Amino acid sequence: MKPLVSLRGVEKRFGSNPPVLRALDLDVHPGEILTLLGPSGCGKSTTLRLLAGLAAPSGGAIHWADPALQKGLGYVFQDPTLLPWRDVFSNVHLPLQLAGLSREAAAPRVEEALALVGLLNFRQSLPRELSGGMKMRCAIARALVTRPALLLMDEPFAALDEVTRFKLNDELLALKSTLGMTIVFVTHSVAESVFLSHRIVVLAADGGEIVEEIQVNPRAPRDAEYRLGPTFSDLSRHASKALLRAMGEKA
């Protein structure tokens, strides 16, 4: 299948510092959940920013199967990045508002997105009135309201407690099966990457080279049993070893 987007020899450097990314080759296939796993500073967030067009590569090329894909993608940041003076509805309305859609015209789509993340009853709440998990759900609804074919997520659950993170992992998979979008997910959590992904790409600490690519059976049911089963622990061990190698230590 033709990839949605391909990175070829992509390099990114900031000023005269050593490059964050040195010749990264990566394909994102339609419908998959691809996780970029790696230690801090390995360039995984930078890769997402390059895909989103928030930064330009210093070298190499990014090929899109359809250039409209990049314009319509969804992005979930590390922090919820909600506008504190807007209520939940208005925050989710924002991307459509910036595209020129009035509140009334956008209402059905905003409400649909809010229903997807279970925040319909909180549409008039302000961000400060929401828990950390609810804020992140609101950010996800905002990313989904434009109905993106590709969703980029930059360690969205890293700041949440484990119970909430598990819950949001489950919810994300449910959203994925409802909406079918492709997801590129950045994390430094081995467990999260194994639970969510169809494919895990482990990036090296220095220069973001691909240390290993781990395939996960996309049809395996992802439920509480999966988290406790032998497949999950085998894959976790495998990914942990790759992560150690990525950090330059002997596995």
Partner 1 sequence: MRVAIEKMREALVAATPPLLAFAAFLALWEWAVWQWGIPAYQLPAPSVIARKLVDDRALLFSSLLVTLSITVQAFLIATVCGVLLALAMAQSKWLARIVAPYAIILQVTPIVAIAPLLLIYLAPQQAVLVCAFLVAFFPILSNTALGLASVDHALLDLFDLYRASAWRRLIYLRAPAALPQFLAGLRIAGGLALIGAIVAELAAGAAGQGSGLAFRIVEAGFRLDIPRMFAALALLSFSGVAIYGALSLLSYLTLRRWHESARGRGF
Which residues of this chain interact with partner 1, rule CB under 8 A? 49, 52-54, 71, 75, 77-79, 81, 83-85, 94-95, 97-99, 126-128
Please say whether the dihedral angle defined by the alpha carbons of residues 86, 92, 95 and 96, taken in this order, is positive or negative. Answer: negative
* Contact partners, residue 121, CB within 8 Å, separation at least 6: none
> What is the 8-class DSSP label of residue 20?
S
Q: Are 44 and 24 in contact (CB under 8 A)?
A: no
* Other beta carbons less than 10 A from residue 106's beta carbon: 21
Rounded to an integer, what distance in angstroms lies between the CA atom of residue 217 and that of residue 228?
Answer: 16
Q: Which is nearer to partner 1, 53 or 59 (CB)?
A: 53
Q: Which is nearer to partner 1, 1 or 85 (CB)?
A: 85
Rounded to an integer, what distance in angstroms lies between the CA atom of residue 247 and that of residue 251?
Answer: 10
Q: In the bound complex, what is the minimum distance in angstroms from residue 18's beta carbon to partner 1?
A: 23
Q: In the bound complex, what is the minimum distance in angstroms from residue 117's beta carbon to partner 1?
A: 17
Q: In the bound complex, what is the minimum distance in angstroms from residue 198's beta carbon to partner 1?
A: 25
Q: Which residues pair with 33 in a beta bridge?
A: 183
Rounded to an integer, what distance in angstroms lies between the CA atom of residue 192 and that of residue 185?
Answer: 10
Q: Which is nearer to partner 1, 154 or 243 (CB)?
A: 154
Q: Which is nearer to partner 1, 52 or 65 (CB)?
A: 52
- DSSP letter string over 125-177? --GGGS-HHHHHHHHHHHHHTT--SEEEEESTTTTS-HHHHHHHHHHHHHHHH
Q: Which is nearer to partner 1, 22 or 93 (CB)?
A: 93
Backbone angles phi, psi at 150, to 5 degrees: -130, 130
Q: In the bound complex, what is the minimum distance in angstroms from residue 82's beta carbon to partner 1?
A: 9
Q: In the bound complex, what is the minimum distance in angstroms from residue 115's beta carbon to partner 1?
A: 22
Q: In the bound complex, what is the minimum distance in angstroms from residue 146's beta carbon to partner 1?
A: 8
Q: Which is nearer to partner 1, 101 or 173 (CB)?
A: 101
**CA nearest neighbour of 148 among 12, 17, 28, 10:** 28
Q: In the bound complex, what is the minimum distance in angstroms from residue 186's beta carbon to partner 1?
A: 15
